[in-house]
Amino acid sequence: MYKNEGAKGQVDTFIKASNIKIRKKFDFILRYIADERNQFKEPYVKHFSIEKYKRLYELRLKAAGTMVRIIFYNIDENVILLNAFIKRDKRDTEQALEHALKLIEHLDRVAETPVDYLTEVEVN
């Protein structure tokens, strides 16, 4: 997960603050896409086709009547989760994509990438 220097990661904070159903579904989907047989395919993952966002993917989950989206990208076979949000409007995704591009630019500029790799989600 992307983690700004000295701060908690936005995705990590978002998931930990979410209800148990969302955390369990998030854990399930991460395990699902980690299995190389499934790869990044719908319904859980959407690849953006617009040129500007071609490097980005959207992790899609719905639990407890809430649509959660997590913008991520794949680099050197590592999935880096950039931004999580509740989708209420189409513009929510557009704003998250723009924010994700800024995070990627930051990662490209710094020598040490401020990234934690998530191995297991705490669902308690």
CATH class of 10-109: alpha beta
Considering only 16-20, 81-85, 93-97, 120-124, which range has the smallest mean pLDDT?
A: 120-124
- Residue 8 and residue 31: Cα distance in Å, rounded? 23
Has residue 81 got a pLDDT over 80?
Answer: yes
First to last CA, the chain: 20
3-state secondary structure of 56: strand
Has residue 112 got a pLDDT over 50?
Answer: no
- Residue 94 and residue 111: Cα distance in Å, rounded? 28
**Quick one: pLDDT at residue 117?**
43
Has residue 91 got a pLDDT over 80?
Answer: yes
Domain positions in the chain are: 10-109
- The pLDDT tens digits for 15-74 are 889 999 999 999 998 888 887 777 788 889 999 999 999 999 999 999 888 999 999 988
Has residue 5 got a pLDDT over 80?
Answer: no
pTM listed for this prediction: 0.80
Tokens at 10, concatenated: 């936005």
Tokens at 105, concatenated: 């630019």
